[in-house]
Structure 1
Amino acid sequence: MTAIRSLSPPLLWQFFDTVCSIPHPSGQEAVLRRWIADWAAGRGLAVQQDEVGNLIIRKDATAGMEGRKGVILQAHMDMVPQANADASHDFSRDPIQPWIDGDWVRARGTTLGADNGIGLAACLAVLADDRVQHGPLEVLLTVDEESGMTGAFGLAPGLLQGEILLNTDSEQDGDLYMGCAGGVDANISLPYRAEPVPAGHRALRLGVSGLRGGHSGINIHQGRACANKLLAELLADIGEDPRVRLAELHGGTLRNAIAREAWALLVVPDTAEDRLQQVIARRGRQYAEEFAGIDDRIKLELTPASLPERVMTPALQQQLSAALLACPHGVMAMSRAMSEVVQASTNLGVIRTEPERVYVQCLIRSLDDAGRDRVAAMTAAVFRLAGGDCHFDGAYPGWQPDPASSIMQLVLDTHREVFGVLPAVKVIHAGLECGLFKAVYPHWDMVSFGPTIQGAHSPDERVQIAAVERFWQLLVRVLARVPEAARVD
């Protein structure tokens, strides 16, 4: 139990504290899912687990509201596992440690999991609080949203009966979302061609660290540095000296997080180190100026390392370095229809050296399929020219805005009634599950809203306490105002 249980609304924060205490990174939600299912069954609620691991919990309508339209209240159970380099944290075993930092709640050295743990806690609080007025209610809790949207992909038709979906996975108080980007994963592989370590050489580790990172959709337009791209620039500089050999490189851990750290293992003669230090110093000065006010803690360093058993062939080293330098990253197009909305982007999220290959993963996002496919073709071309293989999977559709949405109008009117101002209606450049839901349940009327969460997908993640209370107030009032269902004679 932590101090966040004293915050308001108490039920929501108590559930969030419990969620934090149960490890639940993507793909490892089983223990949390079992706890939720047991808790709901213990309250006499109907609980169903589908074939892919999603939970559906049903609660009867409040007395007198049986004739209202059915609502699906939705959140995902997994969280992004990211930790600072100096944080000794095992996400499969250790609880998240939330703490109150002024007006915010954050975690000690790791992601907080407010994305989407606050939405999940709100769903459970609605189920627990019999004072909340609502019609027929179904709570849909999905699995593996962050790493592949497995739960949304696997949701079968006919399981849910409601007409309205309230998605709780947005991250800005005062904004309502009526559309989102689709996306696809680019999985790239280059065969590791090796030769022996040159005689008389030693190993150095070239590290890039201290970056902010962040959500590869929500933060991609803010110009934050990507550690993988900085490392690619450094390798291009260093590659001008044929004596410097590359053994391996690693960067980032998730395709949907802007890489905060990256490193390369180099094999060099003693006479090359001074030049390497000069390259690092020059680039360090450049980055300090270029990313001032955006990423102020970028750290480049060269440290001794253990000598590896092999290095890449010069041809592979050149091809890989050039491909990473040329690999698209960042905003690729802005929307012409909506001001200040990203149309298409891509994130060079993961670089990993394995025994037989070098693996690279990018996440490409776009509001339309044409933009997604264009960036995908560019990415594939870059790495195929370098002798690599590129295949795409996990493609998911965007959620196209519906100007005639009645639930959007209801939430707009309710927000104005409760808070005295109209919220902004937006399209988010992130992969909400709503697009996949719409493909299976095309009749659903959907809207997404949530509290202010900053730094999602990074250890800087924090959630604003006052925004959580406003989110709860809006959610409860919307549930109470859902209109009557159409009569069937």
Structure 2
Amino acid sequence: MKTLAQLSPQPLWQIFANICEIPHPSKHEQKISAWILQWAKDKGLSVKEDAVGNLFIKKPATAGMEDRPGVILQAHMDMVPQKNADNDHNFLTDPILAYVDGDWVTAKGTTLGADNGVGLASAMAVLASDDVVHGPLEVLVTIDEEAGMSGAFGLEAGWLDGDILINTDSEQDGEIYMGCAGGVDASATFPLVMESVPSGYQSFNLSISGLKGGHSGVDIHTGRANANKLLVRLLNQAIAKFDIQLTELNGGSLRNAIPREANTSFVIPTAQVDSFKTFVEEHQQQIKTNLAIVEPDVSLLLISPEIFAQMWTKDCQRTILNALNVSPNGVLRMSDDVPGVVETSVNLGVVRMKGNKLMALSLIRSLHDDGRTQVEEILSSVYALAGVDVTFSGAYPGWKPSTDSQIMNTVRDVFVERFDYEPKIMVIHAGLECGLFKTEYPNLDMVSIGPTIKFPHSPDEKVDIASVGRYWQLLVAVLAAIPAKTR
């Protein structure tokens, strides 16, 4: 079996293999940052770090290319840490176990980190190469893109000198991205009111697992099930038939990942246990039938754990389950301007108990600020009816498309010349950092390209090997084809 280092282009894949060896989940980028810093110094490159932890690496133009506009290659150093429930991987200490699986590279039971590790590896491979022709070159490596974009938010004026920025965080071969959605985090907090469990009740735990999950932007239109929404619907139906009272409810782990798993603990009168088990079996069959094509591996597991002494009051659980049941989720509107692209969506990504509270965390995305605001208003109304407040934080702007972009036209022309077909010029329903870069660098001419990455933000993440080769060819050719500055 081939190893990553044996794939082509070899320098890129070797660097990506090295990246996989270094733990780098969002909010914990210290190890990967230190490695990049030392790597750049060992190459004799100019490297510096800003106050929030972004890295800046410079390389002079190759001979004869000094009159070209400065180009910034941009990637983020963090990855989404997602794993299967039966996997004991520790993202803070363990390497990603990447391997070649036919035409793809994937990982054993965890996210791969091709998002955005392949883009980072490509930028570093350009820096390391003596053969790639380019003008004045900078590489910007940001922190925390996947969990708040604090690196992009913290980028200050005066650090970058280039005129053109090539973002390497796109995930579809044959497409050139010229715009992206903006977003905002929504957080609702419910107080939990508890009471003692009376005698004659039995304790259970019910979990939903086996869902595909995925990226809450680029996969939101696929119809994949949200574990939080599935479980809440099941519980509402069960409570209408049985005297159930919850003790716990948790699901999902990240706002920007479609939840793959959710679980609840509860008590039920012993006399109703057998009927409830039959209900669960019937509900599981219904889910499997309804989702047979998109979620063939979904399953429910009912077990009897330790005895619970406290349970939610019926009023408390009614309020929470009703609010979560009507909380919007999925695609809310398709774009009128860009056919086939989602305009506005929301993902109920996390439901989490913490002490005597339950938090419901969603991520709203929209190509338009007004679309984002509309969903904020909807969520505010939903949770106001439940008697709780919702807060919004971390809002980031979209990247407004520019049909006059010179770098977009250059990438398109090079693509046609090299591959002999027209690429798709696209707007992505995901949160690239480009919109934030425009805040401090409004004159940057930007474009985003990348290889084909399937199922990012899930343990099924994989990257197409051949597309990485084509992406590398395109990137190298574009750097060489950027015309000289006009005087």
> Quick one: distance in 2 between partners of 1:425 and 1:282?
46
Deviations 1:325-345 (A, max 9, x none): 101000000111121111100
Question: In the TM superposition, what is the alpha-carbon distance from 1:295 to its structure 2 partner?
Answer: 0.6
> Quick one: distance in 2 between partners of 1:297 and 1:482?
48
Aligned to 2:7: 7
Aligned to 2:167: 167
Amino acid at match of 1:337: D
Question: In the TM superposition, what is the alpha-carbon distance from 1:286 to its structure 2 partner?
Answer: 2.3
Aligned pairs for 1:221-232 within 5 A: 221-232=221-232
TM-score, normalised to structure 1, is 0.98
Question: In the TM superposition, what is the alpha-carbon distance from 1:454 to its structure 2 partner?
Answer: 0.2
TM-score, normalised to structure 2, is 0.98
Question: In the TM superposition, what is the alpha-carbon distance from 1:242 to its structure 2 partner?
Answer: 5.9
Aligned to 2:122: 122
Aligned to 2:251: 251
> Quick one: distance in 2 between partners of 1:187 and 1:83?
24
Aligned pairs for 1:18-29 within 5 A: 18-29=18-29
Question: In the TM superposition, what is the alpha-carbon distance from 1:307 to its structure 2 partner?
Answer: 1.9
Aligned pairs for 1:101-120 within 5 A: 101-120=101-120
Aligned to 2:84: 84
Amino acid at match of 1:275: S
Aligned pairs for 1:197-276 within 5 A: 197-241=197-241, 243-276=243-276
Percent identity (aligned): 53
Structure 1 contact 171–454 (Cα < 8 Å) conserved: yes
Amino acid at match of 1:399: W
Amino acid at match of 2:455: G
> Quick one: distance in 1 between partners of 2:8 and 2:479?
19
> Quick one: distance in 2 between partners of 1:235 and 1:377?
27
Is the deviation greater in 266-275 or in 206-215?
Answer: 266-275
Aligned pairs for 1:63-74 within 5 A: 63-74=63-74
Aligned residues: 487
| 3-state DSSP of counterpart to 1:109 | coil
Aligned pairs for 1:47-62 within 5 A: 47-62=47-62
Question: In the TM superposition, what is the alpha-carbon distance from 1:15 to its structure 2 partner?
Answer: 0.3
Aligned to 1:364: 364
Aligned pairs for 1:24-423 within 5 A: 24-241=24-241, 243-423=243-423
Aligned to 1:16: 16
> Quick one: distance in 2 between partners of 1:271 and 1:139?
66
Deviations 1:425-464 (A, max 9, x none): 0100000001111122110110001000001000000000
Structure 1 contact 244–272 (Cα < 8 Å) conserved: no
Deviations 1:64-89 (A, max 9, x none): 11110000000000000000111110
Amino acid at match of 2:318: Q
> Quick one: distance in 1 between partners of 2:10 and 2:440?
35
| 3-state DSSP of counterpart to 1:305 | coil
Deviations 1:366-417 (A, max 9, x none): 0001111111111122122112221000100011100111100000000011
> Quick one: distance in 1 between partners of 2:410 and 2:87?
44
**Moved segments of 4+, more than 4 Å:** none
Amino acid at match of 1:130: D
Amino acid at match of 2:259: A
| 3-state DSSP of counterpart to 2:82 | coil
> Quick one: distance in 2 between partners of 1:274 and 1:406?
68
| 3-state DSSP of counterpart to 1:250 | strand
Structure 2 contact 242–272 (Cα < 8 Å) conserved: no
Aligned to 2:453: 453
> Quick one: distance in 2 between partners of 1:289 and 1:298?
10
Structure 2 contact 242–276 (Cα < 8 Å) conserved: no
> Quick one: distance in 2 between partners of 1:63 and 1:295?
54
| 3-state DSSP of counterpart to 1:375 | helix
> Quick one: distance in 1 between partners of 2:275 and 2:345?
35
Amino acid at match of 1:19: I
Two-structure CA RMSD over aligned residues (Å): 1.2
Show structure 1 runs of 5+ residues with no match. none
